[in-house]
Amino acid sequence: MADVLTVAVRVKPGASRARVGGRYDGPHGPALVIAVNAPAVDGRATEAARRALAGALGVRPASVSLRTGAASRDKLFLVAPAGPESAARLGRLRDGAAPVA
C-alpha cells in the first residue's frame, strides 16, 4: 500500500538557477532546499517548488500538495502516494547527493 510522505522544504525564490538539493535546518526540522526561478508573488514560487519536488521524487505533480507555509519560505508538502523509492530519493537529495537541476 502506498504511503503519504511529508516533506519539509526551504524555498529560495528568484534564483538564477533552478535546482533541488541540500539541507536547511528550519522550523519543521531538516528541510530539502529547492531554488526556483519564479518570484515569490501570487504563489508562483510555491507552485514552481511543488512541481520541482514532484520531478525530483519521480512522482506526478498532482501527487504533491501543500500542507502548510503558503506565504513562507519554509513549507510542508504532502506526497501521496509515495513509495519507498520516493523516501530514498528525498534522503539522498537532502543529505548529500548532488542537486538536481
Alpha-carbon gap, residue 26 to 10, rounded angstroms: 8
Centre a 10 Å sphere on the Cβ of residue 15 and count the other Cβ atoms it contains.
15
Alpha-carbon gap, residue 97 to 81, rounded angstroms: 23
CATH number at residue 8: 3.30.1200.10
Is 87 a domain residue? yes
Is 100 a domain residue? no
Centre a 10 Å sphere on the Cβ of residue 90 and count the other Cβ atoms it contains.
20
Alpha-carbon gap, residue 44 to 38, rounded angstroms: 6
Structural domain containing residue 53 = 3-95
| Closest of 27, 77, 26 to residue 48, by C-alpha | 77
* Total number of domains constituting the chain: 1
Question: In the predicted model, is pLDDT for residue 69 greater than 90?
Answer: yes
Question: In the predicted model, is pLDDT for residue 42 greater than 90?
Answer: yes
Is 43 a domain residue? yes
Question: In the predicted model, is pLDDT for residue 1 greater than 50?
Answer: no
pTM to 2 decimal places: 0.90
**Could you give the count of Cα atoms lying within 13 Å of 86 in the half-sphere of its Cβ?**
21
